[in-house]
Structure 1
Amino acid sequence: MEEKTKKATWKAHPENEEWNDARNWEDGEMPDESAVFSQSDKTVITFSTLDCARVGQLDFEPGAPSFSFRFGSSPNKPALDIHGVGIRNKSGHSQSFVVAATAANFRTPQLRFSNKATAGGEEMSYYSGPESLEDGYGGGIISFFDQATAGTARFVVRTGKLAPPKTERSTVGGEVAFCDYSTAERAEFTIYGSLGIDGDTFGNTVFHDHATAAHGRFTNIGGTVAGGDGGNTQFYDSSTAAHGVFINLGGTFYKANGGDVAFDGTASGAHGHFLNYPATVDGGNGGVTSFNNNWPDMGTEGASAGEATYHNYGATGAHRGGGGHTEFTAKYGCPTAAKATIINYGSAIPGKSTAGHTIFSISLPTQHFPTAGNAVIRNLPALNADAAPGNTSFAMYADSEKNSTNPSPPPSGTDPLQSQPKDQVPTAGEALVINEGGSVPGAAGGFTSFSGVSSAGNSRLVAHGGMNGGQGGKVVFADWASGGTCHVCLYGNGELDLGWMSQKLSIGLLETAGGIVAMALGSKGFGLELGSQLILHSGTLSFRFFGSESSGFDFGQDYEVLTAPNLSCFNVGQFAANDLDGASPHFTLSGNKLSVSYSKS
């Protein structure tokens, strides 16, 4: 005989506050299909930590008061599993679910939504956190499975101040988890970071499997203690940010990290909008979006920035710490910027790390590497003469090195960076990278740098000139970096800087309308080789040369500075350069080779 499903109404005068006590329901039976809430003198409802209550839906009738559902730690199974329609609130009042607990795994949460259940509308609020902010650790878990949805509800996620015991399994903090094909729909999430000395403990919103952020809005609050993390939103497996909005605020304390969105596995930024803000204090770190910075190891696969938009904001007068940034660190996979749009904003204060920036990097030894794919990246200028410009770096680090957005001088002797296979290095791929010039006197233009043995690939690299006395944008190559078949475009006082190179640089094409090529002269200076052609829209190409005894420079010596298949089509009068120690440059053109010398009379 088929068992009938039960609809039950919470009593107006229940015996106690526990859901699992049948005496609290009319007709003395707990619901397994529909739980109805109307007028009652007990509006705080608790759950047994030993039993699992299952119900298809919760209905709040018109005029019902605000109820608060309280969940404690339930180690092996959810205290409440909502597996049908979900929550329908017609009461006209807000309803809250508070999961204040410790938990071990997102698959055994305290509160579970499954099948196609919804968490309800914007008048529904959810809290996931520890039993006590000051004296607790870890946090409770709310999980969505199958095709369940967060609706348009509001979520707050926190963690406790204490570190979890080493002998006890625990999440890194309070958590809202989306699994299978579940969705955040249009819900809003506010996620907080570390409160104590355990910087690895922070609130999380996590997407697994094929789950999607849909049109959700996520605010990851910046860290508030030294060494602590900000709130985190994480994407694993094949999950997607879809059309979500993600706000990563900077740290508010010295050495505190900013809010973070992390993509791992083969997860995608899809069509999301990511806003990474600077830290509010000097020494704090800005908000960040990162790719393949966490387990699992993906081999040659990796996460994708999709077609999303990423804004990395620089420091201002009110926010004086590290700038917002996007990192393709490739620690555990080979991520790509795909078809993303990335904007790095300049700062209003000194210090290169205060600007918005994007990093494509690897730390040796590794077989992983990132690519800029077909992204469009814009590096905007500094806001004044003493500030830092937005920048993008393609970099490689050995164990002893520290990350930097600027290239460092080439090392002497053999370097471990040179041993990295050339097809396993950070590359600009097919990206378009635009470096804008400064717009106020002395302001530095945005720049892109390649160091180690990173590669410009088949990218298009543009350096625009400055206005009103501003410096031009820059494209910088250092160490043994490869120009690949890239196309470099220089305008105004935009610059291609080869001064840190340890070998000749080869690129595909150089196109200029103004522009400057900077390089060292001497036995330690290296020229530029074009595989395709030189295009001079303004008729003249300017060089900025520098040389010294330490670089092996000698007056009266010819130095080859440029080769190109079509160079014989030009004449020496189309090339100009600066004086050196009072000596003027003398160019000679022989076939497809251009040389320069300086002689003192």
Structure 2
Amino acid sequence: MSQSEWNTQPVTGEWNSAVNWSPAELPASKAVFNGSAQTVITFAADSDAAVESIEFSESAAGYTFTFGPGKVPGLTISGQGVSNTSRKQQSFIVAATSSGHDNPQLVFTNNATAGTDDIYYCAGPISEQGYGGGVISFCDNARAGSARFKVWTGAEPPPQYRKENIPSTVGGEVSFSNSSSADSANFTIYGSLGIDGDTFANVVFHDTATAGKATFTNVGGTVAGGDGGNTQFYGSSSADRGVYNNWGATHEKANGGDVAFDSTASGGDGHFYNHAAVVAGAYGGVTSFNNNPPYMDAAQGASAGNGSYFNYGARQGEQGGGGHLEFSAKYGSPTGADATIVNYGSAIENKSSAGHTIFSINLPSKYFPTAGNAKIWNHPGSGEQGAAGYTEFSVYSSQNGSGSGSGSESFPTAGNATIFNLGGCTARAAGGYTVFSGQSSAGGATLIAYGGTNGGYGGRIAFYGESAGDSAKVCLFDDGELDIGYHTAGVTIGNLEMTGGVIATELGSEVSGLTVTGELSIKSSHVTFRLGKQKEGGFAFNKPYTLLICSALSGLTPELFQANSIDGVEPSFAIVGKELQVTFTQQ
């Protein structure tokens, strides 16, 4: 490979000037940098320089390469890439105002690599008070190596935002396309600095690009209404084995750092850490699925893959929203696939301060999310005032509609997931819980509620509204609870296993009872019901209410069941065919 050497006494610092090189022609193969009196390298306006590799020798100084705005890439590296044996940091600073990933200033293509951890790349605006940001692009099979990247944006709104009131999401960006990889690089990504909360820095994966083993730090938002740093996956790209830290916001009404999966992208085997916000009124870090365009076919969507997702509640003085995971299904039908999801509790009272996972749709919609085969752990709150970690399956109405279809035939479902709701482990600590509301469904999931210890409350499973139990299996231990009292009609499930446990419902004109179509397994000396009177009224003494319907009841005795008194009147139970009935007989 022929090579060109940067002169020790160049005339200028411009790459595109042949007199600065030996021999006196622009490098096309290998560009070598040794010691030099000029270590700030610039590029001519609309430069389209191209080289196969850049090498910093053992005697090289610490160089800084600066790229400004341009209609074409200032430099394309297409061969071996960048290598550094100098032990000094080499810096590539892309400071521009781009219109997206198709307008890069620095490009790595073919099999080029960005080099080792002593090579630093920065993509951002021309100044902190400027707008937008520059773009570094990896194409074909190019790799980010183990280099370090900073990605940020400026405080000024982009021109189209200022003139037409149209938000722009073009900040500094590192883009991976085709089959390129982030390799084992390290990325720090920052959010909005100004009033345009939709402009933030991005690391974006397209096509079949992968994140490799890279590390991504998405910094939480620092201004009101602003977003945090973002890592985004589109097409069939994959998070691979990357590590992702999404930090909570540090300013009221700001959003946390974000990883977003759209199209049919996958979480791969990635590890995702969604942290709580520092201040009250701020939002925690988030990982989301199908929350952004483009629209997918109804059955298609992004996947959590085999990833591990950790959602942290507000602890250690944090006062804001908890880290969370969203399967929003606005533009596709995402799945929890084979993920491991952990929702930790909070030390403060606000529900949203806990770590949580939400599977939801806004009606009308042709999309729906499923928990797939995921394993989900909902942890208890921290202390008496703390909020517990939770998983929620929800359906919301929308007056304007989502624009994605004329109606919905499917709703959020727990699929074949296993969801563990852990009891509190200190006095009066709330247990982790799972809630189904709207027309959501438990599918064929296994739902487990464990009892509390040391005076803590049990884990909880709740069905509200018109939600469906379908063929799910419910397992209750100790004071773990199944709450169906606020359901609009009776709840039907597949199987019920009770080693202790509590079933809660309300009595009145329309009793929400429980139907078990499959196996009823009771492994304790008694079954406990927690009964109340419906707020709408209709409760009557001396009237039998059906609490449970199951063919297996015929082999049991009424003495197995117990409940609380109501207005000082004790309950009496009877088994009538396949029904368990309770009556509060008033003398």
In structure 1, what is the equivalent of residue 60 of structure 2?
Answer: 64
Alignment of 1:466-505 (within 5 A): 466-505=452-491
Q: TM-score, normalised by structure 2?
A: 0.97
Contact 2:193 2:222 in 1 (8 A): yes
Q: Which residue of 98, 104, 119 maps to 2:114?
A: 119
Q: What is the distance in 2 between the residues matched to 1:326 and 1:257?
A: 14
* Residues 1:103 and 2:89 aligned together: no
Q: Which residue of 181, 205, 216 maps to 2:203?
A: 205
Contact 2:46 2:73 in 1 (8 A): no
Q: Which residue of 281, 286, 290 maps to 1:292?
A: 290
1:48 Cα shift? 1.3
CA deviation string 1:365-390 (max 9, x = no partner): 11100000000000000011111000
Count of residue correspondences: 577
* Residues 1:133 and 2:132 aligned together: no
Q: Which residue of 182, 185, 191 maps to 2:183?
A: 185
1:330 Cα shift? 0.2
For the aligned residues, what is the CA RMSD? 1.4
Percentage of pairs with the same residue = 52
Single out whichever of 62-71 and 543-552 deviates more from structure 2: 543-552
Contact 1:63 1:92 in 2 (8 A): no
1:36 Cα shift? 0.7
Structure 1 runs (4+) deviating above 3 angstroms are 167-171
SS in 2 for 1:353: helix
Q: What is the distance in 2 between the residues matched to 1:588 and 1:391?
A: 36
1:533 Cα shift? 2.1
* Residues 1:310 and 2:323 aligned together: no
In structure 1, what is the equivalent of residue 393 of structure 2?
Answer: 394
Change (3 A) 1:141 1:547: same
Contact 2:446 2:474 in 1 (8 A): yes
SS in 2 for 1:23: helix
Aligned residue identity for 1:210:
T
In structure 2, what is the equivalent of residue 148 of structure 1?
Answer: 142
* Residues 1:455 and 2:441 aligned together: yes
In structure 2, what is the equivalent of residue 240 of structure 1?
Answer: 238
Aligned residue identity for 1:164:
P
Alignment of 1:153-164 (within 5 A): 153-164=147-158
SS in 2 for 1:479: coil
1:49 Cα shift? 2.2
SS in 2 for 1:551: coil
Q: What is the distance in 1 between the residues matched to 2:586 and 2:453?
A: 35
Contact 2:98 2:170 in 1 (8 A): no
Change (3 A) 1:548 1:453: closer
Q: Which residue of 67, 74, 97 maps to 1:79?
A: 74
Contact 1:292 1:334 in 2 (8 A): yes
In structure 1, what is the equivalent of residue 213 of structure 2?
Answer: 215
CA deviation string 1:248-289 (max 9, x = no partner): 000000011000000001000010000000000011000000
Change (3 A) 1:16 1:549: closer
* Residues 1:93 and 2:92 aligned together: no
Q: What is the distance in 2 between the residues matched to 1:400 and 1:310?
A: 33
SS in 2 for 1:393: strand
Contact 1:104 1:171 in 2 (8 A): no
Q: What is the distance in 1 between the residues matched to 2:139 and 2:537?
A: 64
Q: What is the distance in 2 between the residues matched to 1:51 and 1:198?
A: 31
Q: What is the distance in 2 between the residues matched to 1:317 and 1:339?
A: 31
SS in 1 for 2:464: strand
Single out whichever of 552-561 and 285-294 deviates more from structure 2: 552-561
In structure 1, what is the equivalent of residue 403 of structure 2?
Answer: none
SS in 1 for 2:468: coil
Q: What is the distance in 1 between the residues matched to 2:3 and 2:305?
A: 46
Q: What is the distance in 1 between the residues matched to 2:28 and 2:237?
A: 32
Q: What is the distance in 1 between the residues matched to 2:59 and 2:34?
A: 7
1:92 Cα shift? 1.7
1:524 Cα shift? 2.7
Change (3 A) 1:528 1:378: same
Q: What is the distance in 1 between the residues matched to 2:378 and 2:461?
A: 11
1:27 Cα shift? 2.3
1:7 Cα shift? 2.0
CA deviation string 1:473-525 (max 9, x = no partner): 00000001000100000001000000110011000011000000000111132
In structure 2, what is the equivalent of residue 361 of structure 1?
Answer: 360
Contact 1:103 1:171 in 2 (8 A): no
Aligned residue identity for 1:352:
K
1:105 Cα shift? 2.7
Q: Which residue of 47, 52, 59 maps to 2:48?
A: 52
Q: What is the distance in 2 between the residues matched to 1:171 and 1:256?
A: 16
1:600 Cα shift? 1.7
Q: Which residue of 408, 418, 436 maps to 1:432?
A: 418
Change (3 A) 1:481 1:205: same
SS in 2 for 1:550: coil
Q: What is the distance in 2 between the residues matched to 1:539 and 1:50?
A: 81
Q: Which residue of 524, 531, 551 maps to 1:545?
A: 531
Structure 1 unmatched ranges of 5 or more: 402-418
Q: What is the distance in 2 between the residues matched to 1:172 and 1:391?
A: 34
SS in 2 for 1:532: coil
